[in-house]
Amino acid sequence: MFDVIRIPAFKDNYIWLLRKGAAAAVVDPGDARPVLAVIEREGLSLTTILVTHHHADHQGGVADLLARHPAEVFGPAAESITGIKRSLCGGETVSVAGCAADFQVIAVPGHTLGHIAYYGSGCLFCGDTLFAGGCGRLFEGTAAQMLESLARLSALPDDTAVYCAHEYTQANLRFALAVEPGNPRLQRRAEEVAVARAAGLATVPSTIAIEKASNPFLRCREPEVVAAAQRRVPGARDELAVFAALREWKNTF
């Protein structure tokens, strides 16, 4: 099994480095500099780069990494990303050289049209699709696409570690409490996250079980969540309409 190292980048991004012995892989390297710093400090060899989508804060460092390390680059076929050597649509299995790890590729359109996620060894690297306590904005896809994508991810085993790409948890949970204030698991999670952030600690990874219990975007059939959505959009009666109402509400929260 590989170790997962969190590499902060920009204001609130996380780049994930997978390490087994001297071999390393990175997920969504928006900036090469902090990745190279870890690789050089630890004496690692970068074998693989996994990209979830085309936004610059997720793939902007690929070219600089390739200039130093001849890594194999995996990424979405439907998006234009320089350096990709194997294009993926979802349904494939990819092997990470040196880390003894295979990942299932899951198509998760919504945030972008070609967005993919990687699942294996009990870990989910989901980019900007599923966040701790929230989900990505719909920059290119539709509410229906995102709802279906989240359903695919929430069907993974409950103990799956969710490695999203941003430290958005505290803000997401403030919104979640506005939607579902009567959820005791959500209340406890918000308290735990507040303590962690006050201490300067990260709040990810979470787990699929935690998200199903406290993330409103995975709880669009729960009565309190439905009622909150209907206060915003009275005609929001089915799961998709509830999800769409929540996503629009979150955009302006």
28: left (phi > 0), else alpha (psi -120 to 50), else beta?
left
pLDDT in tens, 89-122: 999 999 998 888 999 999 999 999 999 999 999 9
pLDDT in tens, 16-62: 999 999 999 999 999 999 999 999 999 999 999 999 999 999 999 99
Q: How many CA atoms lie within 13 A of 40 on its CB side?
A: 8
Beta bridge partners of 124: 119, 162
pLDDT at 1: 85
DSSP label of 165: S
- How large is the angle between the packed helices 239-251 and 169-179, nearest 10 degrees? 130
The residue whose two tokens read 């049209």 is: 113
pLDDT over 90 (residue 153): yes
Residues with a known catalytic role: 53, 55, 57-58, 111, 128, 166
User: Model pTM greater than 0.95?
Assistant: yes
